[in-house]
Structure 1
């Protein structure tokens, strides 16, 4: 005789999904490896962080022989499962009860691996965030000789009258998980490595359930304080993981202070990492959040210019941007421009005098210490010197003056586009997949315009260099 139980303790538990939901699960199997074994029993308890609100328990016909030693361990025999539902017959119920929840189990990789494999055999991608109570117990309940479920139950007075049966072990894991929740302030969230999310230090008005709405997708996220002020902007290929890192258990003083002030979190998906980088940079310049120290300024007052002198040498000089001539690079201050140029002069073995960094009337100081090849006193031919100077210019310049970058969109039906016109960043937007443009002017009609600046150019330049295979470039 098989048993299927599905008893909602509340008429509509969906309303509890406004906060974090956990499905605490245990399975019994025909063996220890999901590549060869199959599930014989499953028990799932849906937990809202306070109590169990729904459950699903069933024997499963594994459609393979249960070895005698397994039957001796679990008490589940071949006769017991012969009329039990096959996995595909209960798959929908498992999907529904676990949807939107965190998969919790004692040695979660075992239970999750088996269930995921069963779904893969059906052609379905079962994907849930997981928590392992073995790992959590080692972190929150230190000092035990063993972290087997039986040993923890003995140590903490957890009763289990049906050891090695799915319902018995799952209910024991429920009690253990409630102890762990209490130890960690009432919420446990999946984080990378051995880190634990801690509610300690969060603003009292911050709703932890808000974090459940964050996606594991590419985009930009925003932190607000209790006055509604935007205090931090960030980007990530995985918004949820990054936000949890910020708010989980920070150690740096600045990060702890920011955690204490955050009351709300919002996000915008971009699909493309390139667009996320550009949007983050532009939003920081526009909003100047308290905790974003970099990229706050959006006035690029100074430019780096290049010209050829009468002797044929390429020269560089720094001057204020007045809009009449396009600089090869722009900076927020004269100091920032000079610091950058000093670094590049050294990197490319250029002459400080020809780069406007030395007022010497004779050979520059770098020549005297053999770090300049003598272009300043015409000992190095222009053709040789200019090769290195051009390499520096090419590092700053785009390969093309007018081009369109097409990357992935926010879903499979769209693409992101980034426009560069006359060597200047113009903006980005999204279009339907397969859209085409006869000119850059056409593309300009579907993008949101943004100010050109050195940060945006560097982002685009690096992306083209490092991830050119991931993005399509169309020149005009």
Structure 2
């Protein structure tokens, strides 16, 4: 659990500042579960430059509660949580000092989003909260007011959690928060898990990730894990002490995250999924007569695949459908071995490309139609789909046929801006598994839209 906060102060000498406003959002890793905000009467003057910066004046605070009147609420909302703030050292010092004045020892683990952002989103022009969130497409209202800044920090931290592919943040949280450990029957964890789409991470008591999975309903999937009696599930049930999760809003990003993070973290119970899971691929080449041929071959790194498949039978079945849909020649798709005309020509379903009866221009036009719709070998495009919230969208970025990564953005943000893309994209490795996942998914399921960046059209 995290307590994400922002504090406005009077300014003045070190350790003599007073709090003028505080906002705290209790965040469980995927949503805000509690919140508190209030103006505070600091019982001391406010520096003029602070009044100009925040708009908070002494007159506004005359009837506001004093710190001791809200101290209990602050203790309650931060209980068992790690404090998260933009420049956490400052906010934690101010809060600790106020509690010291009351004779109460307030000690919390802290996470600084400035330090995290520098590590996970390098090369930004500025790491001040206002400029950073603006460059990342995160809405920010009421700048230099506690509630507005804290709310923006929640969105920033949510993005940083997603960019933390090594899961160092949540592993630290698991080690420091024993209350997250499971009950023997695992019922507490199942009840609190979301019934939403995302990736989940099972940890042992040291915080180490022992299993990663994805599901369209995380709660349902955990129930299956914890009620199954197969050998692997029994071992997981004995060893698991905590489960964290990240919502993705849609299954495609969940699949990509699961694949990439299993390779990065190498959980002990994911051994079967660490290796590439496709075996065959469909490629194209031009024969000596100038016709574009399609061919199924063993997966390799020499040729760029149009589509990848888990096995040969799946590839062959798919190619038969492609041949029929685009009225292609079975000889030129490798499905009918012959030195003369193919079988489809004998039943008048092939126009004769197999015996040079159909012109290569006419035949190749249909093959190119298939390639344009099913391959992104040289394309620059964005795959847009649902986000984690109603006002959010997800984006998958393909550049020159290579998968660059994914991200999330606000509905009102100009996503085709290259600088915006650079900032919000969580960069991922462009491997064959990612290509297989993306191509298989968009072939079988609908996404909201695909933006072709070169032609600037929406399909």
When the two structures are superposed, what TM-score results if normalisation uses the length of structure 1?
A: 0.44
Instruction: Kindly name which structure, 1 or 2, has the bigger radius of gyration based on alpha carbons.
Output: 1
When the two structures are superposed, what TM-score results if normalisation uses the length of structure 2?
A: 0.45
Relative contact order (C-alpha < 8 Å, sep 6+): which is higher? 2
